[in-house]
Amino acid sequence: MPISESMVQDIVQEVMAKMQIADAPAGKHGIFTDMNEAIEAAKASQKIVRKMSLDQREKIITCIRRKTKENAEILARMGVDETGMGNVGDKILKHHLVADKTPGTEDLSTTAWSGDRGLTLIEMGPFGVIGAITPCTNPSETILCNTMGMLAGGNTVVFNPHPAAIKTSIYAINLLNEASLEAGGPDNIAVTVEKPTLETSNIMMKHKDIPLIAATGGPGVVTAVLSSGKRGIGAGAGNPPAVVDETADVRKAAQDIVNGCTFDNNLPCIAEKEIVAVASITDELMHYLVSENDCYLASKEEQDKLTAVVLAGGKLNRKCVGRDARTLLSMIGVNAPANIRCIVFEGPKEHPLIATELMMPILGVVRAKDFDDAVEQAVWLEHGNRHSAHIHSKNIDNITKYAKAIDTAILVKNAPSYAALGFGGEGYCTFTIASRTGEGLTSASTFTKRRRCVMADSLCIR
Ligand code: NAD
């Protein structure tokens, strides 16, 4: 058989990828000093992945699941130590959730039309090398989950992680490549640079070999990605309100909301950030929050002190993000009892601790005169992010009205917010919820291109 130029190129790429396996220092698979080199390596690796069977990709994913579980505690501790945010127990759970419930290749479904004129299929194929920007709030969770989905779709990935979580991110990226090598795959299925900056991010976003960028983070990064001229998946900020109406099981609502709000110290973007309660049950709800759910009721003076610390100079104080309630209270001189999990108070929707996405266990409660007023205030508080919202109600008409009005990617009914991630709820897990661009909860199929595959006049055997 004659050897074509493209075959020679493929062989060279394969040899280059294998050389990188040999050269990579232990514990540093996929880690480069230069962004362009990182992209080249991911490109070489993608050429190999592209030729792998679905079964081979699935073997790597199975190995990633196992290693994620084995390393869940290390990654959880590393994340908390490095960023100062969240808590180890919940972060362990989050890694188990990623390992167990992130979809693999089974997510790639085929659509078919068969008839007199033949057979047409829609197949889901890879983009190639995907650029991904990840947050410091769920650093390794996002990297592991993104890579599993992207690899299932036949892609490799270049990360520009949050600099404040680079150690944890590097550990996760190394783990992904070790899993691939162990399962007979190539090195560099996921890569990054040792020192990610806005400059390395720009190199990645502008690179000719990156056709798709997935951004998980606040409004700044999503806007940057959507202005890049490339296709972008924008998983942006939220400020999820939890509405409680007069038909709710108020006692259970209080428990569910506090459980969701305090999970990993309120870091998940989907977590309850404030409550809007109809007036007829607000006092009852406050009673259950404080008497049965370890909430600290902050006085007006304490709210003012908290505002001064948490939103110092009108800007979110990073030193408060992802801290537990007792630490936050200690910052304003309050020595709270050991059981305290959450800080609550009643206030208007415009209260800065209510209107701002804080990512810490502070729950302002807004009183609404009736259900319509509750919906109006909740929609205002969500700020048009269309990200996540929650409701506690037994009235289907109320739930439907709220769902239509708030129009979010996630709406959890009568459960803690984390049910949306498949934790205590049905469905798969992701840590990239594409609220801005509408893909919703991302999975392998989100990271693929739809290709129409047509066979005219044949293969219909009906
Ligand atoms: P962040 O916006 O500060 O950083 C996120 C990432 O974007 C980091 O890697 C950062 O370096 C990068 N970045 C920031 N501005 C950039 C720019 N202009 N150009 C290029 N890169 C830029 O967010 P964070 O503090 O790490 O995470 C918390 C935020 O992310 C919250 O707003 C939260 O709601 C959101 N978030 C959303 C999702 C989701 O799935 N929708 C998931 C997690 C976090």
| CA-closest residue to ligand 1 atom 13 | 221
Ramachandran area for residue 17 (φ above 0: left; ψ -120 to 50: alpha; else beta): alpha
Sheet of 274-278: strand order equals 295-297, 342-346, 362-368, 274-278, 241-244, 388-392, 410-413
Tokens of 359: 């990512």
Q: To test ligand 1's pocket by mutation, which of 137, 263, 359 has the most ligand atoms within 8 angstroms of CB? A: 137
In angstroms, the CA 356 to CA 451 distance is 42
Looking from the CA of residue 431, the nearest atom of ligand 1 is 40
In angstroms, the CA 363 to CA 378 distance is 14
Q: To test ligand 1's pocket by mutation, which of 35, 136, 428, 446 has the most ligand atoms within 8 angstroms of CB? A: 136
**What's the gap between Cα 336 and its chain centre?**
32
pLDDT tens for the chain, 462 residues long, are 555 555 555 554 554 444 443 444 456 899 999 999 999 999 999 999 999 999 999 999 999 999 999 999 999 999 999 999 999 999 999 999 999 999 999 999 999 999 999 999 999 999 999 999 999 999 999 999 999 999 999 999 999 999 999 999 999 999 999 999 999 999 999 999 999 999 999 999 999 999 999 999 999 999 999 999 999 999 999 999 999 999 999 999 999 999 999 999 999 999 999 999 999 999 999 999 999 999 999 999 999 999 999 999 999 999 999 999 999 999 999 999 999 999 999 999 999 999 999 999 999 999 999 999 999 999 999 999 999 999 999 999 999 999 999 999 999 999 999 999 999 999 999 999 999 899 999 999 999 999 999 999 999 998
In angstroms, the CA 190 to CA 130 distance is 10
In angstroms, the CA 159 to CA 146 distance is 10
For 293, residues 6+ apart whose C-beta sits below 8 A from its C-beta are 254, 255, 258, 341, 342
> Where do the domains of the chain lie, and which CATH numbers do they carry?
5-236+440-456 (3.40.605.10), 241-424 (3.40.309.10)
| CA-closest residue to ligand 1 atom 19 | 221
Tokens of 420: 């949306």
Sheet of 111-115: strand order equals 111-115, 118-126, 448-456
| CA-closest residue to ligand 1 atom 34 | 237
- Identify the pLDDT of residue 7: 57
Q: Are 220 and 371 in contact (CB under 8 A)?
A: no
Rounded to the nearest 10 degrees, how much is the dihedral formed by the CA atoms of 20, 161, 328, 269?
-120
In angstroms, the CA 243 to CA 263 distance is 18
Looking from the CA of residue 205, the nearest atom of ligand 1 is 20
State in Å: Cα 435 to ligand 1 middle: 13
Tokens of 413: 């009914």
ipTM of the assembly?
Answer: 0.99
- Sort strands 129-133 and 118-126 into parallel, antiparallel or unpaired: unpaired
- Identify the pLDDT of residue 190: 98
> How much is the pTM?
0.94
- The verdict on the CB of residue 216 being under 6 Å from ligand 1 is yes
In angstroms, the CA 417 to CA 421 distance is 8
Which residue in 452, 446, 456 sits closest to 110, CA to CA? Answer: 452
